[in-house]
């Protein structure tokens, strides 16, 4: 059996260290089976914080999610907090989603925090990720942890670590936490013995405070009052959204909500879907069936930790169509800025944010409304960091990213499907009140600003060999960028890893302003934007393609949309992905 020396050394540490017998038996069984690939993937490295914190497949090993990797991460976080806030009674908050073992891992996390003398506010039942971010800010916590793997398959779990602002850690604190975790050389350094007096249960009181505060953000309560019987179908896809989305919609004033009963019970096996991901059409099958039965106005579906939402609306042929994250995000920003403008609330002090791989249509809308806009790196932690830096100086209206994550208002520092569901419903009521629909509002937006079409291609490369293949693909594009894409010359190359933007026509270079990240962007002469980046949370490399064209009237939508689809296909063929 050929295992690398470093991997074998880590395996032996686990077999001979202070780990429970069940864990040792699991490892020994893999050794007996000579399961080289699985052992390598389980032990060739330690799990690291990516754009979404700690995330991986559950099981035994240093590169798996288990009691010991969760405990080590928490001990490292404790060590960081106790150094950063010396002499202070440090407080943290912990929540978990509906995944298998999420409640168990949340308990382990609370054990370690409490054993280190840190006061824990512990949600006594499953709650959404955005509510954890809210609780950190409301309760004066220095940190918080959410046990979730978001929309990943059921084999996964994860650990999102948050800072005092309610946002995920960014530089330099992310590195400081990682260093503290890496400095733990033995599981014996992890304090697992809970001190009960340091753990305080929370739940409904935070729910109500959060719901009251998001309701205060409503911009068009009059439209809701007139359209309160809007037919809404909602699915939490077996996740935490069931705890707050129905309450939020009711508190906003909506009275006609239909739940997808088959998906309303939290269940970490996600029995009715292949993936609990609202980006996947399959995950919304039952919701769409229910919508057709009752002739709904709007379909909403949230992922297991309720930070992302997928939607469907009726087109002008009466068919339900799924909107992608760029379409929903653009509609939300267009609605928010239009509604704020109607109320005379745009004073020049407001701003919106999107990520570099999210539709530039959002920029065009902001420019037209004279509202400041910002671009950040991919990952909502960068939006949260920007919001914190501007807190008290400018007002954040809304923002989001193409991966179905949006935020309205400044209560939270992460994407928030609860407030997004409420505002998507409000937006639908707003346009229905004007005799339109969300679908027609989208077409009107395209006529005004141009038809923007975005597509994402994800290539999965699992394990150690997969990580090496992804790295090789990025190096190939970095060293040999394409000359043309979709029949248009590549005019600009943005290399965020090197921090350099190159004008390929004039052969001129300038520095990029954003932090360094392994992202490449190719911008063609006709305005197409193609981005390549390895995922920070999944074993994937992602290619984002954005093309656009003028749309002179709504009747031309299908024809122009088809032309843009063909263009995206040509670009992806040129990239050989």
Catalytic residue numbers read: 150
In sequence order, what are the residues at sequence separation of 6 or more whose Cβ sits closer than 8 angstroms to the Cβ of residue 329? 354, 358, 359, 362, 400, 401, 402, 406
In the structure encoding, which two tokens stand for residue 406, read together? 């949006």
- Is the Cβ–Cβ distance between 493 and 501 less than 8 Å? yes
In the structure encoding, which two tokens stand for residue 488, read together? 């248009």
Tokens 């509609």, located at residue: 331
In the structure encoding, which two tokens stand for residue 148, read together? 């979730």
Cα–Cα distance between 89 and 123 in angstroms, integer?
20
In the structure encoding, which two tokens stand for residue 242, read together? 């069931």
- Is the Cβ–Cβ distance between 272 and 248 less than 8 Å? no
The rounded radius of gyration (Å) of the Cα atoms in the chain is 24
SS3 state at 56: strand
Instruction: For residue 51, report the phi and psi dihedrals to the nearest 5 degrees.
Output: -65, -20
Instruction: For residue 53, report the phi and psi dihedrals to the nearest 5 degrees.
Output: 90, -135
- Is the Cβ–Cβ distance between 325 and 404 less than 8 Å? yes
Rounded to 5 degrees, what angle do the CA atoms 222, 316, 333 make? 45
Alpha-carbon separation of residue 269 from 158, 263, 449 (angstroms): 15, 11, 43
Total count of residues recorded for the chain: 577
Instruction: For residue 4, report the phi and psi dihedrals to the nearest 5 degrees.
Output: -60, 150
Strand partners, 500: 495, 511
Tokens 């379409």, located at residue: 327
SS3 state at 139: coil
Longest Cα pair distance anywhere in the chain, in angstroms? 71
For 219-272, the DSSP string reads S-HHHHHHTTT--EEEE-TTSGGGGTHHHHHHHHT---EEE-GGG-S--TT-TT
Strand partners, 188: none
């Amino acid at each position: 059996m050929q295992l690398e020396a470093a991997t074998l050394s880590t395996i032996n540490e686990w077999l001979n260290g202070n780990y429970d017998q069940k864990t040792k038996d699991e490892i020994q069984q893999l050794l007996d089976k000579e399961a080289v690939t699985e052992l390598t993937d389980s032990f060739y490295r330690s799990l690291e914080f990516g754009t979404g914190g700690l995330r991986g497949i559950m099981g035994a090993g240093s590169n798996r999610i288990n009691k010991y990797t969760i405990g080590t991460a928490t001990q490292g976080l404790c060590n960081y907090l106790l150094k950063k806030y010396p002499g202070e009674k440090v407080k943290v908050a912990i929540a978990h989603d509906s995944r298998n073992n999420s409640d168990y891992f949340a308990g382990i996390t609370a054990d370690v925090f409490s054993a280190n003398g840190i006061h824990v506010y512990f949600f006594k039942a499953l709650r959404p990720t955005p509510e954890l971010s809210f609780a950190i800010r409301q309760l004066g916590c220095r940190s918080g942890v959410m046990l979730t793997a978001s929309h990943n398959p059921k084999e996964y779990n994860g650990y999102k670590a948050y800072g005092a602002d309610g946002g995920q850690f960014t530089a330099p604190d992310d590195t400081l936490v990682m260093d503290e975790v890496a400095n733990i050389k033995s599981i014996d350094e992890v304090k697992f013995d809970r001190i009960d007096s340091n753990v305080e249960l929370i739940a409904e009181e935070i729910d109500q405070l959060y719901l009251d505060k998001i309701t205060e953000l409503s911009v068009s309560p009059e439209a809701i009052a007139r359209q309160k019987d809007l037919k809404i179908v909602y699915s939490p896809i077996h996740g935490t959204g069931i705890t707050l989305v129905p309450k939020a919609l009711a508190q906003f004033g909506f009275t006609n909500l239909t739940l997808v009963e088959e998906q309303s019970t939290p269940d970490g096996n996600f029995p009715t879907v292949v993936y609990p991901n609202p980006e996947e059409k399959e995950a919304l099958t039952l919701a769409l069936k229910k919508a057709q039965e009752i002739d709904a106005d709007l379909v909403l579906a949230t992922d297991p930790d309720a930070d992302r939402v997928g939607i469907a609306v009726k087109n002008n042929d009466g068919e339900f169509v799924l909107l992608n994250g760029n379409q929903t995000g653009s509609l939300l920003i267009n609605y928010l800025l239009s509604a704020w403008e109607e109320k005379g609330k745009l004073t020049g002090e407001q701003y919106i944010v999107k990520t570099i791989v999210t539709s530039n249509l959002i920029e065009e809308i902001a420019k037209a409304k004279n509202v400041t806009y910002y671009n950040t790196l991919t990952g909502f932690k960068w939006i949260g960091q920007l919001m914190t830096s501007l807190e008290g100086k400018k007002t954040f209206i809304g923002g989001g990213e193409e991966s179905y994550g949006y935020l309205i208002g400044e209560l939270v520092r992460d994407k928030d499907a609860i407030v997004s569901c409420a505002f998507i419903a409000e937006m639908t009521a707003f346009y229905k009140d004007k005799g339109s629909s969300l679908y027609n509002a989208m077409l009107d937006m395209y006529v005004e600003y141009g038809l923007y079409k975005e597509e994402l291609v994800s290539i999965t490369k699992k394990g150690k060999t997969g990580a090496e293949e992804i790295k090789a693909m990025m190096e190939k594009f970095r060293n040999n960028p394409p000359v043309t894409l979709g029949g248009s010359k590549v005019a600009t190359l943005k290399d965020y890893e090197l921090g350099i933007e190159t004008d390929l026509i004039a052969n001129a270079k300038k520095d990029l302003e954003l932090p360094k990240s392994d992202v490449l962007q190719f911008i063609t002469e006709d305005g197409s934007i193609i981005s390549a980046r390895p995922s920070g949370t999944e074993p994937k490399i992602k290619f984002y393609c954005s093309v656009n064209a003028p749309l002179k009237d709504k009747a031309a939508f299908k024809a122009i949309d088809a032309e843009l689809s063909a263009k995206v296909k040509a670009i992806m063929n040129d990239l050989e992905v």
